[in-house]
């Protein structure tokens, strides 16, 4: 599987916890911690069909209740309110783009959150003239992703460079689509009102091993609900990739 | 990979989507050599056991009793060995779940989960290993029968070959109908081909219904291309139900074209009591009006269903809504559902089933019941159901030749909550911008000046909806004060507008009444501007303005412009508002 690096603005790093991923691939991935947004190289998904190769442990993944994907996300966050529906995530006029086509996948990303009313959200999610976001982490209130079942919604977020959404709660179809596609981690907060204590642009860390969300700018920590068994599915790249990785589906001709 | 790990991986496969418990205890596997063939109900297959591990060139064996052929990974029904050996790709439908004609074939399908990973190399074709269908166990053996099941639970139990299940369980469900349209179809097809192979065949060419309806009458090239993509696929797969449109300049010359998918599914007889219907559209729950389990799914799940005819679903608990009392003449089902959503909020039914019962529900016709179930998703609901009755059966007469088996909630079924409404006391309501649960009485919004009215969509563009609007215009006799857009959901609805007499009008049709009232001419049937769409969509809101609409969502930007203000309402309320130029309670005219 081809692995390509794309040099984009989003200041995020994916840190693989050493206990589960002893083998750091050389040459194809670099792990850098955030300091200056301009010097970033990240391995975001470059297209829908091609996932960056993940480090595979020697033994096959074991499903134990305590295991969780060994992933941490770090970077600037974008803060939203309650009931952000999929029309705001990706307006209907862009649904002519077919997510399974690589070039249209990328275009979808460029329209992520273009449906947000500017009166409520004056900071654009994607800088005009660019096609991906500086905000790899979304902080939201209740019922995130409600409305239409369009899978274009989590796809647009993933294509734009979002790695995780941290919300109070999710609408079911959006949650299901996020896991099935593997595009974003839909993480739930333990308590309400966290989004009110964060501001767009805050530097945050989402730690899925310790189940904690840290806002470095505000100096606060919040508890996350464990992502549970949805984690390995997203980690593998979605439902089909996961089924192949665990041997549930043999390769298809 | 050891046997034990294989099983644990299986549990992972089952535990997707935030689910936390196994659907059913998996069988104990004591050694790699144990026979892992789940036994179908009729007899225990007699197979040479360890020999398949020793001879890699003959990985296939037939049961001495029924001659069925087994492999390490899947059970292939009734395929001659020579075909199996020669086939480079085993057709998905035959390979995984048995020939369609075999009675009970799918019911007793149970793949083996082999621990013989060393054997994997011998079978390098399309093989899907799925969770075994759990054998039916009589309730008396489990000793756990304390209560009955709700309608939704029963339908899912039937479709997953279980005699009993509980909310929260994850089960593999056999799908009766999969629907997709022009917006999600291409993406679904892309995933299907990528995951099952570009030459893969769909699980059942008669169970997939492809309905172009969203972005049809537009010059947007990608939108037009998307219709071409689904047509190519329908031809390639010989899909039985593809409601094609080629000539965009005149919908009437396209005999196959229907229009809005949810209304077309009902009108063409694809909705049947007791069945499971999935669609790549959130308003698929509309079909619950027929007493079936119907819900919306994304492209990836749909791609999976396309190849396998199954999906892993979590059984939702059921909320019961008892609607009693005589329906006032100024209320419609839209008022009822807006009332309910306002009551429980847009997340009030998340992951739950909504069951609608009571004398009022029984008095509703099928189209009104559809309106009720259509907006279940706006409350976060997974699906909605109405118990089927004579009204249902009458509607279905002549529409479907397939047998169906209605299912009803048990007396002792457990509901997670119950809401009771005395419908005779309710008043017309609207949902104010910008949420379907932002409920207000229509009469309390009488000072809201409006710029236009839109009557259309799966929610409010059916024949009954237009009849209702026509009744208000007829009662008034005056002309509308704002542009009033009429978008019939399907060709059939359009024809009804031009042919059916409106009661009490002396034989006038809806179209005549609309013309006399100064409404726009009824447009080409499609989803239209309900969701905005490409810029040139008829009635799209391209500037900020206030609109009263019979559609289903009013989130910011829903009909096009981000600053647009949408008041969701019943067709009575919409028509009344068109006549005054303000949000208006229809009792002003009725």
For residue B509, the cross-strand partners are: B501
Tell me if B278 sits within 8 A of B269, measured CB to CB: no
Given a cut of 90, whether residue A94 has pLDDT beyond it is: yes
Tell me if A212 sits within 8 A of A187, measured CB to CB: no
Calculate ∠ Cα B157-B239-B73, nearest 5°.
55
Measure the CA–CA gap between A135 and A164, rounded to whole angstroms: 10
pLDDT at A247: 75
Nearest CA among B89, B91, B280, B303 for reference residue B194: B303
For residue B62, the cross-strand partners are: B69
B59 or A5, greater pLDDT:
B59
Tell me if B214 sits within 8 A of B526, measured CB to CB: yes
pLDDT at A100: 92
Question: What distances in angstroms separate CA B389 from CA A207, B363, B392, B420, one per listed residue?
Answer: 53, 11, 5, 21
Nearest CA among B78, B135, B80, B79 for reference residue B110: B135
A231: chain B residues, CB-CB within 8 Å: none
- Find, in chain A, the residue whose alpha carbon is nearest to that of B222: A96
Q: Are strands A185-188 and A203-207 parallel, antiparallel or unpaired?
A: unpaired
Test the A interface: residue of B170, B557, B563, B565 with most A CBs within 10 Å:
B557
Query: What single-letter DSSP state applies at residue B266?
Result: H
Helices (H), ranges, chain A: 86-89, 102-110, 152-160, 172-181, 230-236, 239-245
Question: What's the first-to-final CA gap in chain B, in angstroms?
Answer: 72
Query: What single-letter DSSP state applies at residue A195?
Result: G
pLDDT at B30: 35
Tell me if B180 sits within 8 A of B208, measured CB to CB: yes
Mean pLDDT of A199-221: 97
Q: What is the CA radius of gyration of chain A?
A: 17
pLDDT at A11: 39
DSSP assignment string, B201-239: --S-TTSEEE---SS-SS--HHHHHHHHHHHHHHHHHT-
Of B13, B17, B229, the CB nearest to A179: B17
Provide the sign of the torsion angle of the four alpha carbons A160, A163, A167, A172, taken in this order.
positive
- pLDDT (tens digit per residue) in A182-193: 999 999 999 999
pLDDT at A19: 34
Nearest CA among B110, B533, B458 for reference residue B261: B458
Measure the CA–CA gap between A243 and B312, rounded to whole angstroms: 13
Tell me if B343 sits within 8 A of B419, measured CB to CB: yes
B121–chain A Cβ distance below 8 A for any pair: no
Q: Are strands B318-324 and B310-314 parallel, antiparallel or unpaired?
A: unpaired
pLDDT at A242: 84
Of A175, A180, A246, the CB nearest to B300: A180
A119: chain B residues, CB-CB within 8 Å: 563
DSSP assignment string, A22-39: --PPSSS------S-GGG
Of B126, B128, B187, the CB nearest to A98: B187
Give the contacts of B582 (CB within 8 A, at least 6 positions apart). B445, B446, B447, B448, B449, B450
Measure the CA–CA gap between B172 and B168, rounded to whole angstroms: 13
Measure the CA–CA gap between A174 and A182, rounded to whole angstroms: 12
Give the contacts of A214 (CB within 8 A, at least 6 positions apart). A204, A205, A207, A220, A221, A222
Which tokens is A125 given? 């999610």
Measure the CA–CA gap between A21 and A4, rounded to whole angstroms: 20
B280: chain A residues, CB-CB within 8 Å: 149, 151
- pLDDT (tens digit per residue) in A101-122: 999 999 999 999 999 999 999 9
Tell me if A33 sits within 8 A of A13, measured CB to CB: yes
Measure the CA–CA gap between A247 and A243, rounded to whole angstroms: 6
Q: At what angle do helices B463-476 and B491-499 cross, to 10 degrees?
A: 30
Interface of B with A in 10-49 (CB under 8 A): 10-13, 15-20
- Find, in chain B, the residue whose alpha carbon is nearest to that of A175: B17
Tell me if A167 sits within 8 A of A42, measured CB to CB: no
Provide the sign of the torsion angle of the four alpha carbons B397, B361, B259, A180, taken in this order.
negative
A22 or B208, greater pLDDT:
B208
pLDDT at A109: 97
Test the A interface: residue of B353, B555, B563 with most A CBs within 10 Å:
B555
pLDDT at A231: 86
Domain-wise residue ranges, chain B = 3-91, 429-588
Nearest CA among A114, A145, A154, A148 for reference residue A131: A114
Tell me if B191 sits within 8 A of B233, measured CB to CB: no
Q: Residue B253: phi, psi to the nearest 5?
A: -90, 10
Distance from CA of B280 to the nearest CA of A (A): 7
B128: chain A residues, CB-CB within 8 Å: 243, 248-249
Measure the CA–CA gap between B270 and B573, rounded to whole angstroms: 31
Measure the CA–CA gap between B564 and B529, rounded to whole angstroms: 13
Of A147, A180, A251, the CB nearest to B553: A147
Test the B interface: residue of A169, A248, A251 with most B CBs within 10 Å:
A248
B536–chain A Cβ distance below 8 A for any pair: no
Q: Which helix (H) or strand (E) holds A211?
A: none
Interface of B with A in 537-556 (CB under 8 A): 553, 555-556
B124–chain A Cβ distance below 8 A for any pair: yes
- Find, in chain B, the residue whose alpha carbon is nearest to that of A227: B18
Q: Does domain B429-588 have CATH number 3.30.499.10?
A: yes
A100/B300 touch (CB, cutoff 8 Å), yes or no: no
Provide the sign of the torsion angle of the four alpha carbons A47, A53, A59, A64, taken in this order.
negative
Of A96, A152, A172, the CB nearest to B226: A96
Tell me if B493 sits within 8 A of B467, measured CB to CB: no
Which tokens is B403 given? 């047998």
Of A98, A181, A253, the CB nearest to B190: A98
Tell me if A200 sits within 8 A of A74, measured CB to CB: no
Which tokens is B368 given? 């009104």
Tell me if A184 sits within 8 A of A162, measured CB to CB: yes
Q: Which of A75-84, A204-213, A229-238, B297-306 has the lowest mean pLDDT?
A: A229-238
Of A117, A150, A175, the CB nearest to B556: A117
Distance from CA of B296 to the nearest CA of A (A): 6
Which tokens is B230 given? 């689904």
B301/A176 touch (CB, cutoff 8 Å), yes or no: yes
Of A99, A146, A239, the CB nearest to B304: A239
Interface of B with A in 167-226 (CB under 8 A): 183-184, 186-187, 189-191, 194-197, 199-200, 214-215, 220, 222-223, 226
DSSP assignment string, B136-155: P--HHHHT---SB--HHHHH
Calculate ∠ Cα B289-B293-B297, nearest 5°.
110
Measure the CA–CA gap between B197 and B79, rounded to whole angstroms: 21
Tell me if A145 sits within 8 A of A89, measured CB to CB: yes
Which tokens is A49 given? 């069909």
pLDDT digit of tens for each residue in chain B (590 aa)? 444 433 334 444 444 444 333 333 333 333 333 333 333 334 444 555 433 333 334 445 556 556 554 443 222 332 343 333 333 333 333 333 333 333 333 333 333 333 344 444 443 333 344 444 555 555 555 555 578 999 999 999 999 999 999 999 989 999 999 999 999 999 999 999 999 999 999 999 999 999 999 999 999 999 999 999 999 999 999 999 999 999 999 999 999 999 999 999 999 999 999 999 999 999 999 999 999 999 999 999 999 999 999 998 999 999 999 999 999 999 999 999 999 999 999 999 999 999 999 999 999 999 999 999 999 999 999 999 999 999 999 999 999 999 999 999 999 999 999 999 999 999 999 999 999 999 999 999 999 999 999 999 999 999 999 999 999 999 999 999 999 999 999 999 999 999 999 999 999 999 999 999 999 999 999 999 999 999 999 999 999 999 999 999 999 999 999 999 999 999 999 999 999 999 999 999 99
Tell me if B88 sits within 8 A of B300, measured CB to CB: no
Measure the CA–CA gap between A113 and A110, rounded to whole angstroms: 9
A148/B200 touch (CB, cutoff 8 Å), yes or no: no
Distance from CA of A82 to the nearest CA of B (A): 11
In three-state secondary structure terms, A135 is coil
B535–chain A Cβ distance below 8 A for any pair: yes
Question: What distances in angstroms separate CA B512 from CA A15, A16, A61, B462, B522, one per listed residue?
Answer: 68, 69, 68, 17, 11
Give the contacts of B397 (CB within 8 A, at least 6 positions apart). none
For residue B278, the cross-strand partners are: B178, B295
Measure the CA–CA gap between B107 and B354, rounded to whole angstroms: 28
Test the B interface: residue of A49, A89, A229 with most B CBs within 10 Å:
A229
In the β-sheet with B546-549, what is the strand arrangement from edge to edge? B439-441, B429-431, B565-568, B546-549, B452-456, B484-487
Q: Residue A57: phi, psi to the nearest 5?
A: -65, 165
> How long, in residues, is chain B?
590
Question: What distances in angstroms separate CA B105 from CA B173, B174, B240, one per listed residue?
Answer: 14, 12, 22
DSSP assignment string, B497-564: HHHSBPTTTTS-BHHHHHHHTTPPPP--SSSGGGG--STT-TT-B-S--EEEESSS--STTTTB-TT-
Measure the CA–CA gap between B230 and A49, rounded to whole angstroms: 20
Q: Is the peptide bond before A180 cis (omega within 30 degrees of 0)?
A: no
Q: How many CB atoms lie within 10 A of CB B105?
A: 17
Distance from CA of B71 to the nearest CA of A (A): 14
A117/B562 touch (CB, cutoff 8 Å), yes or no: yes
Q: At what angle do helices A152-160 and A172-181 cross, to 10 degrees?
A: 50
B195/A252 touch (CB, cutoff 8 Å), yes or no: yes
- Find, in chain A, the residue whose alpha carbon is nearest to that of B182: A96
B485–chain A Cβ distance below 8 A for any pair: no
B167: chain A residues, CB-CB within 8 Å: none
Question: Widest CA span of chain B, in angstroms?
Answer: 87
């Amino acid at each position: 599987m081809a692995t390509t690096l794309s040099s984009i603005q989003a200041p995020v790093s994916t840190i693989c916890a050493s206990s589960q991923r002893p083998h750091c691939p050389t040459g194809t991935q670099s792990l850098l911690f955030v300091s200056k947004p301009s010097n970033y190289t990240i391995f975001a998904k470059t297209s829908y069909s091609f996932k960056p190769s993940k480090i595979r442990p020697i033994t096959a993944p074991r499903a134990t209740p305590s295991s969780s994907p060994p992933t941490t996300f770090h970077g600037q966050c974008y803060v939203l309110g309650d009931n952000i529906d999929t029309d705001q995530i990706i307006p209907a006029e862009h649904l002519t783009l077919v997510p399974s086509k690589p070039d249209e996948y990328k275009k979808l990303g460029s329209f992520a959150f273009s449906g947000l009313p500017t009166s409520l959200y004056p900071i654009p999610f994607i800088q005009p003239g660019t096609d991906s976001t500086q905000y790899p982490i979304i902080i939201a209130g209740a019922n995130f992703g409600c409305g239409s079942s369009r899978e274009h919604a989590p796809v647009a977020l993933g294509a734009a460079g979002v790695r995780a959404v941290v919300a109070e709660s999710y609408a079911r179809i959006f949650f299901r689509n996020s896991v099935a596609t593997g595009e974003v981690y839909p993480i739930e907060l333990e308590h309400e009102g966290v989004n009110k204590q964060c501001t767009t642009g805050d530097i945050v860390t989402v730690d899925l091993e310790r189940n904690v969300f840290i806002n470095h700018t505000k100096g606060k920590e919040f508890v996350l609900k464990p992502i549970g068994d949805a984690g390995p599915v997203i980690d593998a790249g979605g439902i089909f990739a996961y089924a192949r990785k665990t041997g549930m589906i043999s390769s298809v001709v | 990979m050891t046997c034990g790990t294989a099983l644990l991986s299986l549990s992972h496969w089952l535990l997707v989507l935030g689910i936390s418990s196994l659907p059913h205890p998996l069988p104990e596997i004591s050694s790699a050599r144990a026979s892992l063939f789940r036994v179908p109900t009729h007899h225990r297959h007699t197979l040479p056991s360890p020999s398949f591990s020793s001879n890699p060139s003959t990985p296939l064996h037939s049961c001495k009793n029924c001659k069925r052929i087994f492999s390490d990974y899947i059970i292939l029904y009734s395929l001659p060995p020579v075909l199996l050996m020669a086939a480079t790709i085993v057709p998905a439908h035959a390979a995984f779940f048995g020939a369609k004609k075999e009675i009970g074939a799918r019911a007793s399908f149970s793949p083996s989960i082999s621990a013989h990973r060393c054997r994997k190399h011998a079978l390098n074709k399309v093989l899907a290993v799925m969770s075994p269908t759990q054998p039916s166990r009589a309730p008396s053996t489990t000793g756990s029968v304390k209560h009955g099941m709700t309608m939704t639970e029963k339908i899912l139990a039937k479709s997953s070959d279980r005699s009993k299940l509980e909310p929260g369980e994850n089960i593999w469900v056999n799908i009766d109908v999969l629907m997709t349209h022009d917006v999600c179809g291409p993406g679904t097809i892309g995933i299907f081909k990528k995951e099952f192979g570009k030459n893969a065949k769909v699980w059942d060419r008669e169970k997939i219904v492809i309905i172009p309806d969203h972005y049809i009458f537009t010059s947007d090239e990608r939108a037009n291309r998307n219709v071409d993509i689904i047509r190519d696929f329908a031809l390639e797969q010989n899909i039985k139900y593809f409601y094609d449109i080629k000539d965009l300049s005149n919908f009437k010359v396209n005999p196959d074209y229907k229009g809005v998918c949810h209304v077309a599914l009902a009108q063409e007889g694809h909705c049947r009591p007791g069945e499971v219907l999935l669609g790549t559209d959130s308003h698929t729950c509309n079909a619950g009006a027929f007493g079936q389990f119907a819900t919306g799914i994304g492209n990836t799940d749909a791609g999976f269903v396309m190849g396998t005819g199954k999906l892993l679903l979590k059984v939702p608990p059921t909320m019961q809504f008892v609607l009693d009392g005589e329906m006032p003449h100024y209320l419609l089902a839209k008022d009822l559902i807006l009332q309910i959503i306002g009551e429980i909020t847009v997340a009030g039914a998340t992951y739950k089933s909504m069951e609608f019962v009571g004398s009022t529900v029984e008095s509703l016709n099928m189209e009104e019941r559809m309106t009720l179930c259509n907006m279940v998703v706006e409350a976060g609901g997974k699906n909605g159901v109405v118990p089927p009755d004579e009204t249902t059966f009458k509607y279905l007469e002549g529409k479907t030749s397939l047998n169906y088996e209605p299912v009803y909630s048990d007396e002792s079924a457990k509901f997670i909550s119950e809401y009771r409404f005395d419908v005779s006391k309710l008043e017309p309501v609207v949902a104010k911008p910008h949420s379907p649960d932002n409920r207000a009485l229509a009469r309390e919004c009488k000072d809201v000046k409006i710029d236009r009215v839109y009557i259309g969509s799966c929610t409010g563009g059916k024949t009954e909806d237009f009849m209702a609007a026509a009744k208000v215009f007829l009662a008034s006799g005056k002309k509308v004060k704002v542009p009033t857009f009429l978008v019939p959901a399907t060709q059939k609805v359009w024809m009804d507008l031009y042919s059916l007499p409106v009661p009490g009008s002396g034989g006038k049709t809806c179209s005549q009444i609309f013309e006399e009232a100064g409404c726009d001419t009824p447009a080409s049937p499609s989803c239209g501007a309900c969701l905005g769409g490409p810029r040139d969509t008829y009635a799209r809101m391209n500037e900020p303005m206030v609109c009263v609409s019979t559609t289903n969502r009013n989130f910011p930007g829903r009909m096009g412009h981000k600053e647009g203000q949408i008041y969701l309402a019943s067709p009575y309320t919409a028509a009344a508002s068109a006549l005054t130029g303000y949000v208006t309670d229809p009792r002003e005219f009725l």
